[in-house]
Amino acid sequence: MTDQQDSKPFSDEQQQYLAGFTFGADVARAVQGLPVISGSGGQGTTLAIGGGSTTVDGESVPTGPDRFAFEAQSAVLAAGKKLSKEEQAKRDKNPLDMWDEMQARSDAGEFPKGTDVFLQKFHGLFYVTPAQDSFMCRLRLPGGQIQAWQLRGLADLADQSAGPYLDLTTRGNVQLREIPADQAMNILFGTRELNIVPLGSGGDNIRNCTSSAMSGLDADELIETLPLAKRMHHYILNHREMYGLPRKFNIAFEGGGRIASLEDTNDIGFKAVRVLDENASDDLPAGVYFQLCLGGITGHKDFARYTGVLLRESECVAVAAAIVRVFIRTGDRTDRKKARLKYVLDDMGFEKFIAEVEAEMGRTLTKVDVSRLTVQDIEDRSAHVGVFPQKQPGLNSLGIVFPIGRMTTDQARALADLALRYSNGDIRLTVWQNLILTNITDADLPAVQAGIRECGLDYEANSVRAGLVACTGSAGCKFAGAPTKANAIEIAERIEGTLTLDQPINIHLTGCHHSCAQHYIGDIGLIACQVEVGDDMVDGYHICLGGGWGSRQGIAREIFKSVPFAEVPDLVTGILSSYQQNRVDSNESFNDFAGRLSDEELKSLVATPPVVC
């Protein structure tokens, strides 16, 4: 290298990086009571320690777990960049310290304004205006497990302080809606008295941790995952730095049983696999392990991918925590659209990201080639509905149908009573927006089935309603472009009046780009839009075909664009009619059918009216 090259100044990008790095180091040393390395924050920057607080240029600096997010924000500012408005709001006011403020607002019967609308989501309270002038509260039910007394308690709480129903979600969770301003704190107190803590269920946090719905009950699963979801849940609740993320985050544990947990759609997916004797070694004994998969976000058309890291059950929670801490440091805090883990991985690459995780943990992680792993694929797409024989002799689970994931409070109490009378009260929620009663004896099955029908529900469903998923829609969400739940029922009724399906079909309706109903993984996925019809704008959908997950993994392709809803039920019926008439044989799945045809071929097949089958 020449002297001239030696004297070449740093580029603007390099200077920004060094400024951010050294300033972040100064802040980190200051909050730990160590001497500052240099005046890296810029000319005139001062760091003061003592007097009960640490400050940088007069700004209070967190000295506890909150400092991780603060340091990440400081590095952005030191690099001459601007925080997104949400990041600035979190920097100006820590959302975890709003309890008294929320209490005062509730006492006054007032809803939040400005950035407080966003910050209050960290407590699970969403002000959903203009769709409704009310709050929605999203809960945290790790692994989707709820006890009968909790379900009854939520029904009573909803009758007292919310709308008279419970919404089941695609994360095995529950939402309460139509909460008046003066009932906000009653909801937060009431849920905690039921041992349900919604802290972090909204905002830039780790959402409800999911696991296999029949964990511990499925005779064919490789390993129980419900305990892991619970451990992760309690880790999050007890580590304040877990609330300093740049964007929301999802974690799932898949045990290899018959009901999918959709772990490949999560930021972190732990997938149980087996190492057989012939692939074992002294440093990798035969047994069950978890593949570490990262970066799932199907709304952005990506699935979680295997990182090459294989984990023992005892390692999963600690590794997940390390991944979150690396994400806190590296996630984008300037552009919300690029703030998810996927984009960190796209930028850094998996190998470099895993190296950062290993540095965070202070040790290397076990890497195992996929060729040494045996993946179990026994998913039954209908197993979440109807009778499911458990591995415990003589006991059964019974999956109940909720075509759009909603039950009335009276139905919730009736189901809780059935669970207490005929089992031990253990109830499971699934990612398919339904509920499963467990531990029912063979002798008691008829009585439970009769009780389900007496409260207006059913445990049998055709393949349309069993696979029907819909987000809240415009009836309760300001982002949604159509009333997805009502539209979903109308579509189902139209199909049922025309066709009898003999293969499982998943139809997913989502109201906006947030893709809460994961429309890209449905056999048929619909995303709401506004469509111009004459001089008017009406509700409509873009229609995507051929999505899947697990062994059928694939992102659905947009085939029909901007279809007015008035035409959608007949169009979807025509799609399914064409599938039944043109598939290779009766065993060909819709996913395979759509995959072997071009976009134009799919369009042409449904150009004619549906045929009754």
- Per-residue pLDDT tens over the stretch 300-313: 999 999 999 999 99
| Rounded average pLDDT over 272-290 | 98
Number of domains in the chain: 4
How high is the pLDDT of residue 23?
A: 57
Residue 176 clears pLDDT 70, i.e. is over it: yes
How large is the C-alpha radius of gyration of the chain?
Answer: 26
- Tell me: do 180 and 233 sit in the same domain: no
- Res 11 pLDDT > 80: no
Mean pLDDT within 306-332:
98
pLDDT score of 463: 76
pLDDT band at 346 (very low <50, low <70, confident <90, very high): very high
The tokens for 297 are: 């976000």
Q: Taking 60 as the threshold, does the pLDDT of residue 262 lie above it? A: yes
User: The domain spanning residue 410 has which CATH number?
Assistant: 3.30.70.3340
Last residue of a domain, one of 194, 211, 232: 194
| Nearest C-alpha neighbor of 465 from the set 406, 514, 387 | 406
Is residue 10 pLDDT above 70, yes or no?
A: no
Last residue of a domain, one of 455, 481, 500: 455
Chain mean position to CA 430: 12
pLDDT band, residue 611 (cuts 50/70/90): very low
Q: Is the peptide bond before 130 cis (omega within 30 degrees of 0)?
A: yes
Neighbouring-strand partners of residue 542? 527
Q: Give the burial string for 316-354 (b: 16+ CB within 10 Å, else e).
A: bbebbbbbbbbbbbbbbbeeeebbbbbbbbeeeebeebb
What number of other Cβ atoms are within 10 A of residue 490's Cβ?
13
Whether residue 2 lies inside any domain: the answer is no
Rounded CA-CA distance 249/238 in Å is 17
Same structural domain, 152 and 187: yes
As a three-state string, the secondary structure of 532-560 is EECCEEEEEEEEEECCECHHHCECCEEEE
Taking 70 as the threshold, does the pLDDT of residue 54 lie above it? no
Q: Are 478 and 444 in a shared domain?
A: no
Kindly indicate the confidence band of residue 22, based on its pLDDT and cuts at 50, 70 and 90: low
Instruction: Looking at the structure, tell me whether residues 497 and 527 fall in a common domain.
Output: yes
The pLDDT value recorded for residue 351 is 98
pLDDT band, residue 594 (cuts 50/70/90): very high
Q: What percent of the chain has pLDDT over 90?
A: 83
Give the mean pLDDT of 199-210. Answer: 97
Dihedral, CA of residue 295, residue 298, residue 300 and residue 302, to nearest 10: 50
**What burial letters (b/e) apply to 412-451, b meaning 16+ CB within 10 Å?**
bbbbbebbeebbebbbbbbbbbbbbbbbbeeebeeebbeb
Give the end-to-end CA distance of the chain in Å, rounded to a whole number.
Answer: 78
Query: What tokens were used for 390?
Result: 């458990």
CB-based contacts of 596: which residues, under 8 Å, 6+ apart? none
Using alpha carbons only, give the angle 311, 312, 314 rounded to the nearest 5 degrees. Answer: 120
Q: Are residues 531 and 555 in the same domain?
A: yes
Q: What are residue 278's phi and psi, to 5 degrees?
A: -70, -15
Give the Cα separation of 242 and 328 in Å (integer).
9
Residue 206 domain-assigned (yes or no): no
Q: What is the DSSP letter of 609?
A: P
The verdict on residue 178 lying in a domain is: yes
Q: Quick one: pLDDT band at residue 26, thresholds 50, 70, 90?
A: low
Alpha-carbon distance of 183 to 435, in angstroms, equals: 27
Name residue 29's amino acid. R
Give the pLDDT score at 96. Answer: 97
**Tell me, what DSSP letter sits at residue 437?**
E
The answer to whether 490 and 523 are in contact (CB under 8 A) is no
Q: Region 17-46: what's the mean pLDDT?
A: 54
Residue 37, domain member (yes or no): no
Predicted local confidence at residue 42, as pLDDT: 45
Last residue within a domain, chosen from 374, 402, 427: 374
For residue 5, the model assigns a pLDDT of: 47
Identity (one letter) of the amino acid at 129? T
**CATH (domain of 520):** 3.30.413.10
* 78 located within any domain: no
Q: What is the pLDDT of residue 349?
A: 98
Whether 1 has a pLDDT exceeding 80, the answer reads: no
- Which residues are paired to 251 by β-bridges? 268
Q: How far apart are CA 581 and CA 608, in angstroms?
A: 12
Answer yes or no: are the C-beta atoms of 174 and 452 closer than 8 Å.
no
What would the two tokens of residue 415 be? Answer: 């189901």
Q: Please tell me the distance from the alpha carbon of residue 307 to that of residue 481, in angstroms, as a whole number.
A: 37
pLDDT at site 32:
54
The pLDDT of residue 403: 82
Tell whether 364 is covered by a domain.
yes
Whether residue 113 has pLDDT greater than 80:
yes
Question: Is residue 466 very low, low, confident or very high in pLDDT (cuts 50, 70, 90)?
Answer: confident
CA distances from 504 to 397, 467, 545 (A): 20, 7, 14
Q: Residue 57: which pLDDT band, with cuts at 50, 70 and 90?
A: low
Other C-beta atoms closer than 10 Å to the C-beta of 43 total 5
Residues 272, 278, 284, 285, CA torsion sign: positive
| Angle, helix 350-361 to helix 341-348, in steps of 10 degrees | 110
- What percent of the chain stands above pLDDT 70? 89
What was the pLDDT predicted at 303?
96
pLDDT band at 63 (very low <50, low <70, confident <90, very high): confident
pLDDT(612) > 50: no
Instruction: Give me the torsion for CA of 173, 402, 517, 537, rounded to 10°.
Output: -130
Instruction: Give the DSSP per-residue string, 137-171.
Output: EE---GGGEEEHHHHHHHHHHHHHHS-SEEEE-TT
pLDDT tier for residue 368 given thresholds of 50, 70 and 90: very high
Angle at 170 between CA 169 and CA 173, to 5 degrees: 45
Supply the DSSP symbol for 306: E
13: how many CB neighbours lie within 10 A of its CB? 9
When mean pLDDT is compared across 117-126, 460-469, 495-504, the lowest value belongs to: 460-469
**Around Cβ 399, how many Cβ atoms within 10 Å?**
27
208-239 pLDDT, tens per residue?
A: 999 999 999 999 999 999 999 999 999 999 99
Mean pLDDT of the chain: 91
Determine how many CB atoms are found less than 10 A away from the CB of residue 284: 14
What pLDDT band is residue 9 in, cutting at 50, 70 and 90? Answer: low
At residue 2, does pLDDT exceed 80?
Answer: no
| Of residues 22 and 306, more confidently modeled | 306
Range of the domain at 169: 98-194
Three-class DSSP category at 458: strand
For residue 563, the cross-strand partners are: 541
**Residue 33 domain-assigned (yes or no):** no
Residue 45 lies in a domain: no
pLDDT 10s digits, 140-158: 999 999 999 999 999 999 9
Mean pLDDT of 72-89: 97
Q: What is the largest CA-CA distance in the chain?
A: 89
pLDDT tier at 41 (50, 70, 90 boundaries)?
A: very low
Judgement on whether residues 133 and 164 belong to the same structural domain of the protein:
yes
- So what's the pLDDT on residue 56? 61
| pLDDT value of residue 605 | 84
Q: Beta partners for 61?
A: 54
Query: Of all residues in the chain, what percent are helix, strand and coil, respectively (each to 5)?
Result: 40, 20, 40
- Whether 144 and 173 share a structural domain: yes
Residue 137 or 12, more confident: 137
Tokens 């035969």 correspond to what residue? 286
Q: Looking at the structure, tell me whether residues 303 and 323 fall in a common domain.
A: yes
Whether residue 540 is found in the same domain as residue 599: yes
What is the pLDDT, as a whole number, of residue 609?
46
Stretch 442-467: mean pLDDT: 93
Is 439 in the same domain as 488?
no
- What is the pLDDT at residue 12? 55
Looking at the fold, whether 281 and 174 belong to one and the same domain comes out as: no
Count of other CB atoms within 10 angstroms of residue 395: 18
Same domain, 281 and 360: yes
Name the pLDDT band for 478 (thresholds 50, 70, 90).
confident
